[in-house]
Structure 1
């Protein structure tokens, strides 16, 4: 079972995402801020990470994960509210692999993540 972390300041976003992604077969952990996310990743690095771009320290989370000994293996999704090229490029420079548009729903999460769940 692949581990997936949702890093978002919103309880609702984390809970909805966790419910949908758990149904797809992921072991989902949550972090409500960048500090908690980095600590959890240091303890046990997830296979996939969704990081909310509006959260303070979002780019720090991505950079910190990439600096970890096995940090290059984690797949990081930078979650943006709109297709803001400047914000997306900053995420890419920090080490994000891909992007998710917010708000996401069951259809979006299923289409993006079902392939990863099946590969586990």
Structure 2
């Protein structure tokens, strides 16, 4: 069963994402900020990370940059999931290593499509 780490400071978004991901047969863990997400990844690397941009303590972009510095043998696929839709934000996310980008609010079909694109489903 593929694993997904949902990283978002909103409990509601994490709950909605968990519900969708579990319905797609993914094992789900949650983190409320980038620092907590790094600790989880250091312990056990998920197959995919659903990552918010704007979070306290450590932003999604900072998390992604730090994750790439770890030179993991099998780094997770990363799907940025955010309200930031400017071309500059998307370019910065891709440059930092994001594999895909999805806008909030998202639905099951959109998330399923992105997971298929990155090869997790």
TM-score of Structure 1 vs Structure 2, range by shorter chain: 0.7 to 0.9
Structure 1 CA distance, aligned partners of 2:12 and 2:102? 17
* Aligned partner of 1:87 among 89, 92, 104: 89
* Residues 24, 114 of structure 1: 8 Å contact kept: no
Alignment pair present for 1:28 and 2:28: yes
**Match for residue 48 of structure 1?**
48
SS at match of 2:55: coil
| Structure 1: stretches of 5+ with no match in the other structure | none
Structure 2 CA distance, aligned partners of 1:33 and 1:42? 14
Give the aligned CA root-mean-square deviation in angstroms: 1.8
Structure 1 CA distance, aligned partners of 2:65 and 2:55? 14
Deviations 1:71-115 (A, max 9, x none): 653111112315311111111121111101111112212332257
Q: How many pairs are equivalent?
A: 118
**Match for residue 103 of structure 2?**
101
**Match for residue 19 of structure 1?**
19
SS at match of 1:69: coil
Structure 1 or 2: more helix by fraction: 1
* Residues 45, 75 of structure 2: 8 Å contact kept: no
Relative contact order, higher structure (CA 8 A, sep 6+)? 1
TM-score computed with the length of structure 1 as normaliser: 0.87
